[in-house]
Amino acid sequence: MVITGSCRKIYEAPVPDLQWALFDAPSSVNLSFQSKMAMEGVYNITEEDGVFGELAALKLSYVMQGADTVYHLSILCGKDVSYFIMQGKRSGDSILLNGYWRKMINTETGVARMSISNAGGAGQLFSTTPLILKDSIVINGVFGYGSEEPVSNIQLEYDRRLFNGNTFEILAHRAGGRTSDLLPYSENSIGMIKFASQLAATGIEIDVKKTKDNIPILYHDNTLNTRLIQKNGLGGEVEKYTYDQLFTQVRLIDGQRIPTLREALQTIVYETDLRYVWLDVKYEASFEPVRQLQIEFLQKASAAGRQIEIVIGLPTEDALQRFKELPDYRSVPSLYELDLSDAENINARVWAPRWTLGLQNEEVARVKAAGKKAFVWTLDVPEFVENFINQGSFDGILSNYPSLVAYYYYVKQ
């Protein structure tokens, strides 16, 4: 029986090689922002094996890479929490989409190559004022499994615009997902922060610890352990290490460094289109260092013309007491996870109960009536995500599967 342990499958879902000669050819040029924006919408999927379900939501996002803006077209599907992440180019009178797909409930992934012909709507998408109607865009393509050449056919036909109700926050847990979700980046890392928009997140939740020398960093667990970092002989509480020690000796599972909160906020404000930041403060000391960074980056975001909310998350009653030690705490943007009346007492901008309490429509209505927001965490079960979006009234959902939350939100009618 002990031998059984050694039979354990190694789980990984690497991003496949995305080289495509036609897409990489000099004749393929960047697609205009307008064309990409016009492609956003809900599409009907035609694919004989039903690998991705019947509907998809196509959403545009961007991330800054140096002075360049890189756009991604994410195709969000309902079945098995699947998604495609594509980039677009113009090739003659057609549009090419190149990327990969992934299913979050398992390790399935593969290459995807698609195109929109002139007759399939590319002409309309190239126009300065695209008129997009039902069936006016037809995306044809192929997808494959793992590193295999893509040969399975898939077709997407434009059906309608994305649902656009009141502002709804699609919040990615630990900046995008857990390390165990086998995304291309480690949880709570700079890479994951930049990746979150590709999963259709509008905001992120990040975990804040502090080092021995009081520098707020992004890290979830109390200890250095091989769930989160590469094996290096170090262990014990993360707060017993100085930032220099962590910087020089510790690497996250994907090889990145543990980022400081300053680096994270810098990235969010200047390199992503994220608009909501939930700082889940997990250390047991003064909130002052986090509060100072919150003030600084709210000002920087405003100066950069970005409308970003940064809230200090309070997960426990102990955190609530320490939060109250901040001067004028009632004016500090905060999020409280426990009792609603406590959230009201500290004038929290957001009340965020655990999802396992159910829809709580009456309490949510009370929060909204006071001009505040209600989020729910951390909801991953697909059927419940659908229920919370269609039958609940929360202003946002925190999930390890932001692409799924986005799917159910955008395909609403």
Contacts of 222 (CB under 8 A, 6+ apart): 237, 238, 239
State the pairing for strand pair 109-116/138-143. Answer: antiparallel
3-state helix, strand, coil in the chain (%, to 5): 30, 30, 40
Is the Cβ of residue 65 or residue 230 nearer to another protein in the bound state?
Answer: 230
CB of 5 to another protein, least distance (A): 5
53-to-19, 39, 240, 253 alpha-carbon distances in Å: 27, 20, 48, 32
283 binds another protein (CB under 8 A): no
User: At residue 179, what is the residue type?
Assistant: T
395 binds another protein (CB under 8 A): no
The encoded tokens of residue 289 equal 């260092």
The residue from 9, 17, 151, 362 that contacts another protein (CB under 8 A) is: 9
224-to-228, 237, 348 alpha-carbon distances in Å: 7, 6, 32
Dihedral of alpha carbons 375, 377, 381, 384, sign: negative
CB of 380 to another protein, least distance (A): 5
CB of 82 to another protein, least distance (A): 13
The residue from 357, 362, 369, 371 that contacts another protein (CB under 8 A) is: 357
Is the Cβ of residue 17 or residue 383 nearer to another protein in the bound state?
Answer: 383
Is the Cβ of residue 27 or residue 391 nearer to another protein in the bound state?
Answer: 391
**Interface residues for another protein in 91-110 (CB under 8 A)?**
104-106
236 binds another protein (CB under 8 A): no
- Hey, what long-range contacts does 148-155 have (CB within 8 A, 24 or more apart)? 148/110, 148/111, 149/111, 150/110, 150/111, 150/112, 150/113, 152/47, 152/49, 152/51, 153/47, 153/48, 154/45, 154/46, 154/47, 154/52, 154/112, 154/114, 155/45, 155/46, 155/47
| Rounded distance between C-alpha atoms, residue 413 and residue 406, angstroms | 14
| Rounded distance between C-alpha atoms, residue 301 and residue 305, angstroms | 6
CB of 273 to another protein, least distance (A): 27
Is the Cβ of residue 7 or residue 151 nearer to another protein in the bound state?
Answer: 7
3-state secondary structure of 41: strand
Tell me the β-bridge partners of 209.
Answer: 217
362 binds another protein (CB under 8 A): no
Is the Cβ of residue 67 or residue 357 nearer to another protein in the bound state?
Answer: 357
| Rounded distance between C-alpha atoms, residue 188 and residue 204, angstroms | 10
CB of 309 to another protein, least distance (A): 24
The residue from 169, 181, 271, 280 that contacts another protein (CB under 8 A) is: 181
Q: How many residues bind another protein (CB under 8 A)?
A: 40
21 binds another protein (CB under 8 A): no
CB 191 within 8 A of CB 254: yes
CB of 306 to another protein, least distance (A): 32
Is the Cβ of residue 139 or residue 364 nearer to another protein in the bound state?
Answer: 364
Dihedral of alpha carbons 215, 220, 224, 230, sign: negative
The encoded tokens of residue 284 equal 């047991």
Q: Which region among 45-53, 160-168, 325-333, 381-389 touches another protein (by CB under 8 A)? A: 381-389
**Interface residues for another protein in 321-340 (CB under 8 A)?**
338
Is the Cβ of residue 30 or residue 222 nearer to another protein in the bound state?
Answer: 222
CB of 81 to another protein, least distance (A): 8
Half-sphere exposure of 161 (CA within 13 A, CB side): 7
The residue from 77, 81, 156, 319 that contacts another protein (CB under 8 A) is: 81
10 binds another protein (CB under 8 A): no
**Interface residues for another protein in 137-176 (CB under 8 A)?**
none
Q: DSSP alpha helices (H): ranges in 197-260?
A: 243-249
234 binds another protein (CB under 8 A): no
Is the Cβ of residue 59 or residue 220 nearer to another protein in the bound state?
Answer: 220
227 binds another protein (CB under 8 A): yes
Residues that bind another protein (CB under 8 A): 1-5, 7-9, 11, 81, 104-106, 178, 180-181, 220-223, 225, 227, 338, 353-360, 380-384, 387-388, 391, 401
